[in-house]
């Protein structure tokens, strides 16, 4: 669902950051949202339990296999607005970047999206491209059957460049 007034030109990163902070301070703002590059509010339904179970499992795998820190729902400034991946991984030297109320100006090196029934192929493709353009080295995509795809600037791969092995338990996808 999109709300707001559509502008003819995308907002600057500073304007998007300011809007993001204002929305975060407003108690009437929905819980799960992103912003388009025009400042439009993109509202998502609350994730279902199965989706959140897969996200929790991905966060555990990121921490166990890569060290560093894994975060759910970090706001990231991208060319398509402020996007919020299900999971993001950061090495220790970048942990301080998460302390600001503003969206991160560059993407963590590894982000993951878990698909939900309402996800559209085109929208997910745009998010993957936006994360990569914002500095992600890799975007992991977990589909509704448990298949995992690793997207990098040079294409889609079955294996991670981080040597991350995401093999979700089959019972998560029954």
Domains, the chain, ordered by start: 47-173 (3.90.1570.10)
Question: What is the spatial distance between Cα 132 and Cα 110, in angstroms, rounded to a whole number?
Answer: 9
Q: Name the strand (E) or helix (H) holding 17.
A: helix 13-25
Write the CA distances from 27 to 21, 98, 109, integer angstroms.
12, 22, 31
Write the CA distances from 173 to 31, 49, 146, 170, integer angstroms.
25, 12, 6, 6
- 3-state SS, residue 57: helix
Question: What is the spatial distance between Cα 45 and Cα 122, in angstroms, rounded to a whole number?
Answer: 18
- Looking from the CA of 92 toward its CB, the CA atoms found within 13 Å total 1
Task: State which residues of the chain have pLDDT below 50.
Answer: 1-2
Single pTM value for the model: 0.90
Residue 29: predicted pLDDT: 93
Residue 5: predicted pLDDT: 54
- Sign of the C-alpha dihedral, residues 86, 68, 108, 125? negative
Residue 6: predicted pLDDT: 54
Residue 1: predicted pLDDT: 45
- 3-state SS, residue 78: strand
Q: What is the DSSP string of 93-149?
A: GGGGGGGSSSPBSS--SEEEEE--TT--HHHHHHHHHHHHHTT-SEEEEE-TTS-EE
């Amino acid at each position: 669902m999109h709300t707001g007034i559509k502008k003819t030109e995308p907002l600057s990163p500073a304007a998007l950051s300011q809007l993001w902070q204002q929305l975060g301070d407003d108690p009437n703002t929905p819980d799960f949202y992103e912003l388009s590059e025009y400042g439009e509010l993109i509202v998502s339904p609350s994730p279902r339990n199965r989706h959140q179970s897969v996200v929790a499992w991905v966060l555990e795998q990121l921490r166990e296999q890569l060290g560093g820190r894994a975060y759910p729902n970090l706001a990231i400034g991208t060319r398509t607005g402020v996007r919020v991946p299900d999971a993001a991984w950061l090495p220790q030297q970048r942990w301080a970047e998460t302390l600001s109320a503003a969206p991160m100006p560059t993407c963590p090196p590894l982000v993951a999206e878990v698909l939900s029934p309402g996800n559209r192929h085109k929208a997910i493709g745009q998010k993957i491209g936006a994360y990569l353009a914002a500095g992600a080295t890799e975007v992991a995509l977990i589909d509704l059957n448990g298949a995992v795809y690793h997207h990098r600037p040079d294409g889609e791969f079955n294996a991670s460049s981080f040597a991350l092995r995401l093999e979700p338990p089959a019972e998560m996808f029954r």
